[in-house]
Chain A
Amino acid sequence: MARRARDADGRRDLVVVGNGMAGARTVEEILERGGAEQFRITMFGEEPYGNYNRIMLSNVLAGLESEEAIFLNSMAWYRENAITLHAGVRVGRIDRHARTVRATDGSRTPYDALVIATGSSAFVPDIPGMRTVGRGFHQGVFRFRTLDDTRAMIRYARTHKRAVVIGGGLLGLEAARGLQTHGVDVTVVHGPGHLMNQQLDAAGGYVLRCGVEALGIAVQTSARTVGVLGDTEITGVQLADGRVLPCDMVVVAAGIRANSSVADTSGFLVERGIVVDDQMHTLDDQGTPDPAVFAVGECVQHRDQVYGLVAPLWEQARVLADVLTGTDPSAQYHGSRTATKLKVAGIDVASMGITAPERPDDDHIVISEPRRGLYKSVVVRDDRLVGATLVGDLEKVAPLIQAFDRGSPLPEDRIALLFDLGTAPAEVGVAELPDETTVCNCNGVSKGTIAACVRGGVASVAGVMDATRAGKGCGSCKSLVAQVVEWAADGDLQVDESASWYVPGIPYAKPELVALVREHDLRSVSAVFAALAPGGVEDARSKMGLTSLLRTIWGSDVVDERDGRFINDRVHANIQRDGTFSVVPQVLGGVTSADQLRRIADVADKHSIPMIKITGGQRIDLLGVRKEDLPTVWADLDMPSGYAYGKSFRTVKTCVGTDFCRFGLGDSTALGIALETRYQGLESPAKLKLAVTGCPRNCAEAYVKDIGVVAVDGGRWEMYVGGAAGAHIRKGDLLTTVDTPEEVVMLTGRFIQYYRETANWLERTYAWVPRLGIEHVRAVVVDDAEGLAASLDAAVQASVDAYRDPWKERDDPAEPGQFRTALPLTVLPQVPVR
């Protein structure tokens, strides 16, 4: 077959069908080999996005990662590498003779070389009731394969309460765990006799099941689903044994199938996947390799194997790139030995080779502790490790993978494979790992790649992680990555300084930054950039943190540059999704009055407030206020700001205390009001939420606040610090117990000021207190062991004295157009009116 004539620049056309992890990784490997000089690259992706890390969808479902965070290649990457990306366009047919791909948008694209990387899709068994005639899947049935699947599931889970997940493999368990975080009751229905039967033996599967059930997920094994019940809404699933499990949504995670239909209809040899040879060439239906068409990834069948894990895909991509670019024309892929290390619903699982002994003289060593959630099993044949399964503890996984991959010698005492019996420490283990050992399974990064990166001059853990993406997947290998980097740097490791910088644009940690700001008398954000940023360059992401720091250092003597503030702090309200704002007036200690309520009601009527919401901090939130209406709303309320928008002292929640409660031991209401009155609006590195409760019944939830005060018997007050009950849950540490409310007020101020002066930007007290240690915090704040108390007290007093209600700006705007709409042609609010 004659090559198409090359264009004037001598480059050939490379077309990649599929923009998932395999397709994009192959292109990266090709570019790394100088492929941009050989090829003009065009990519087709069925999904309307750049390329994202599909492995991380379970974290998106569980709310642990944002959608943005899982993108591997932004649109900018395609642009920078001059790749033409057709996102959201499906290829319908490949004309091998004309060397053209035809897309369903009608376009035809010629190629000199073609890579098929169409991946796989969810396999959905044909269960009655799952599909509605003529309309595809029932609206309550979901697959878990794409970002859109994930979004749809999250949306549906908001209004539905019970889910059945069909399939107890990796994906099914991840889906179950993810849905559970949305408040959904989940039952996993699994056909085989134990969970993750592809990777685990029955005993290991049992230990995993115990762990999964301990999370509150119900599990049914040996349970076959034979029907989905319900017409418009799902009412349950029917099992083969006649039982019905009530539910209102169903997730199908029953495995994946290679997407091979394009190849099939275009005359390529397809069995369970697109058949390829050792150089990743596709074959025609006579079995003859096509020199111009390759395939890679989960759509591929190589030597009878179809892989559903990510590591083999990286190996295939490397071979394909070597062959295609001519870097190593004889490169061959010989299949992958799959050693996998996974986190399943938060439980560590590793497996390699066979799961159980197969011959009479196979050695089999098993440690099974279901109650501790631990399971370890190794199979040894002829002194070689041929299989291992670990659940719950992966400490020994690196040497096991090494022994499995390399056939390296095993200790005579086999049990030493599973325990550190006085053997070498971890660093030696890292040194002994062969270069090919995969350290990061998510992104397919080997020890050799990490070492080469370090030798190439990157000498920090974060730098290596950025450059190689090691540790940027599920994150379970981060400590191993760090160990390899340390080993490779051989003592030359740079401490990753930027990680310790207070803000990304100024290369100093907070203590040095504070000292420099004082030394150079820097009183504005622009002055800090000019004096301390590399090249004097300002950085948008650093401005808010600097603004807060300068106010902490200089109080009212700061030069206020409004562009240094986040929009919330420019207009003293919290921006909402449609660009309107929420208004929360101060309600000291959560105690209001008929007069306040009447005024709030009048304001809500006058301004047609779309939603009035009681907040968790015992206040009243008026939502959906247009920016230009803020000054009049404040004027009509005639109440001070409640600071529900800032990185600042927010609110003090109280219980009814001694006035009415028959259990109250101390006047929590009065103390809460005193605290809020004194410290209202203080800027801090992150928000501060407080509570005062009148007895240890803790109705005001003081144990889980940044500062929580609890009245105890004998008129005394316990002070807890560093608690949290948001995304992070932590019971506060007992700072001290004092005799009077005055001491509480004084120590609260001292604690806040020490936090303001030493915490990193956005570091909540629940992170800061453990970082410093409660003993240290107590020594400084309570015992004045470092002699700082007087200066802390004076500094916080200065800030208290500088307090001015920001809502007074209604009469005297700080700058032109402060309250002008930023969406002049959009009719706001767009939020629904309740």
Chain B
Amino acid sequence: MTAGTERAVGVEHVLGPVSEIPAGEGRAYGVAGRQVAVFRLRDGTVRALDAVCPHRGGPLADGQIDADVVVCPLHAHVFELGTGVCRTGRSDVESYAVRVEEGQVVVSIP
């Protein structure tokens, strides 16, 4: 799926309390057979991407982030947190609709 494509309305899954994710970091979840990395930005919003870097399988949840991107810890490939678009020439990763509801992280899996 490429940037700008509308996300299909998916099935919502409650992943756990947002307090599990320290500010500015990511944590990974296994949900509906997928590995999903959820990032909590410093402003409190959350973003969700596939947890596995398409380059060499690096764990994106272990990457460093800012308000826009995550940097894979293995070879520094850069992915946009909002769209999953790769800025360094690799395949994109899937991005998922995610929100915090009553302190719980809720992700929508198509």
Chain A interface residues toward B at CB < 8 A: 50, 66, 68, 71, 74-76, 79, 526, 537-541, 543-544, 561-564, 566-567, 570, 575, 577-579, 815-817, 820-826
Contacts and interface: CB of A to CB of B under 8 A. Distances in A.
Interface string B10-34: 0000000001111111111110011
Given A66-B75, A826-B52, 4 more contacts: A526-B24, A540-B65, A540-B78, A567-B73
Interface of B: 2-3, 19-30, 33-35, 37, 42, 51-52, 56-67, 69-71, 73-78, 85-92
B29 A540 contact: no
A41 B74 CA distance: 35
A822 B61 contact: yes
Nearest to A828: B59
19 contacts: A74-B89, A75-B89, A75-B91, A526-B42, A537-B67, A540-B69, A541-B76, A566-B64, A579-B58, A579-B62, A816-B20, A817-B20, A817-B22, A822-B51, A822-B62, A825-B30, A825-B33, A826-B35, A826-B52
Contacts of A71: 89
Q: Which 3 A-B pairs have the closest CB atoms?
A: A563-B24, A74-B89, A822-B59
B75 A540 contact: no
Given A563-B42, A820-B27, A824-B29, A74 B19 contact: no
A823 B89 contact: no
A826 B37 CA distance: 13
A79 B86 CA distance: 11
B54 to A, nearest CB: 11
B75 A68 contact: yes
B27 A563 contact: no
A544 B74 contact: no
A824 B56 contact: no
A14 to B, nearest CB: 21
Contacts of B67: 537-538
Nearest to B87: A76
A823 B52 CA distance: 7
A538 B30 contact: no
A566 B63 CA distance: 7
B27 A540 contact: no
A539 B90 CA distance: 21
Scoring A66, A540, A561, A566 by chain B CB atoms within 10 A of each residue's CB, the highest score goes to A540
A587 B77 CA distance: 34
A579 B64 contact: no
Nearest to B4: A79
Given A79-B2, A537-B66, A821 B75 contact: no
Contacts of B57: 577-579, 826
A576 to B, nearest CB: 9
B74 A75 contact: no
A825 B21 contact: no
Contact of A822 (B28, B66, B75, B76): B28
Contacts of A540: 63-66, 69-71, 78
Contacts of A815: 22, 25
A564 B60 CA distance: 16
A541 B88 CA distance: 13
B66 A538 contact: yes
A564 B66 CA distance: 10
Nearest to A820: B27
B88 to A, nearest CB: 6
Contacts of B73: 566-567, 575
A567 B20 contact: no
Contacts of B52: 823, 826
B71 to A, nearest CB: 5
B86 A75 contact: yes
Contacts of B85: 76, 79
Nearest to A49: B89
Nearest to A543: B64
B1 to A, nearest CB: 12
A797 B28 CA distance: 40
B65 A823 contact: no
A312 B51 CA distance: 45
B22 A563 contact: yes
Contacts of A567: 62-64, 73
A561 B42 CA distance: 11
A74 B77 CA distance: 12
Nearest to A525: B24
A821 B74 contact: no
Nearest to B34: A825
A161 B89 CA distance: 34
A443 to B, nearest CB: 17
B49 to A, nearest CB: 12
Contacts of A526: 24, 42
A228 to B, nearest CB: 33
Scoring B21, B37, B64, B69 by chain A CB atoms within 10 A of each residue's CB, the highest score goes to B64
A501 to B, nearest CB: 16
B71 A541 contact: yes
Scoring B22, B23, B76 by chain A CB atoms within 10 A of each residue's CB, the highest score goes to B22
Contacts of B92: 75
A817 B21 contact: yes
Contacts of A561: 23-24
Contacts of A570: 62
A820 B34 CA distance: 17
Nearest to A537: B67
B90 to A, nearest CB: 7
Contacts of B19: 816
Contacts of A75: 86, 89-92
Contacts of B58: 579
A570 B85 CA distance: 26
A540 B34 CA distance: 26
A527 to B, nearest CB: 12
B25 A563 contact: yes
Scoring A68, A541, A817, A822 by chain B CB atoms within 10 A of each residue's CB, the highest score goes to A822
Contacts of A544: 64
A543 B71 CA distance: 11
Given A526-B42, A820-B27, A823-B52, A76 B89 contact: yes
Contacts of B74: 575, 577
Contacts of B59: 575, 579, 822-823
